[in-house]
Amino acid sequence: MVTAVTEGIQVSVEVTYQAEFSSPNQHHFVFTYKVNIENKSPHTVQLLRRKWEIFDAAEDMKIVEGDGVVGQQPILEPGESHSYISGCNLKSGLGKMRGFYMMEKLFDGKMLEVVVPEFQMIATIFHN
């Protein structure tokens, strides 16, 4: 698990290689990642947007951005957390992701660029 803190917002990510959904012979590797966002600041914040940089050893970097996370724009009071699971498909068994969330402090409208720490995606392939 990797963790980063930006202005009291802690983001932790844990990655799992999904061997049962992957087809290495067809260059298809599936990873899931669980993200936990914890508001350790004294302010209520709302996650509005996300931006990801996805690096795959077999391809050029991709940028993915959009509103919220998995269809939600959670509001986090101080001390609250929000977790979600998402996924990424790679053409190689080796890659990484990093990015940020755009969050708004609800009391003054200030925007925060909250870092999502870089995490590795490495396929673990076992042969009998």
55-75 confidence digits (pLDDT tens): 999 999 999 999 999 999 999
Quick one: pLDDT band at residue 124, thresholds 50, 70, 90? confident
Tens digits of per-residue pLDDT, 6-59? 999 999 999 999 999 999 999 999 999 999 999 999 999 999 999 999 999 999
Collapsed DSSP state (helix, strand, coil) of residue 122: strand
Instruction: Please name each of the domains of the chain with its CATH number.
Output: 2-122 (2.60.40.1470)
pLDDT at residue 126, rounded to an integer: 56
| 78 pLDDT more than 70 | yes
Quick one: pLDDT band at residue 108, thresholds 50, 70, 90? very high
Bridge partners (DSSP) listed for residue 13: 2, 35
pLDDT at residue 128, rounded to an integer: 45
| 127 pLDDT more than 60 | no
Q: How far apart are CA 29 and CA 88, in angstroms?
A: 8
Of 71, 68, 78, which is closest to residue 103 (Cα–Cα)?
Answer: 68
Beta strands in the chain (DSSP E): 2-6, 9-17, 29-39, 45-56, 62-67, 75-76, 81-90, 94-105, 111-122
pLDDT at residue 110, rounded to an integer: 97
- The answer to pTM > 0.95 is no
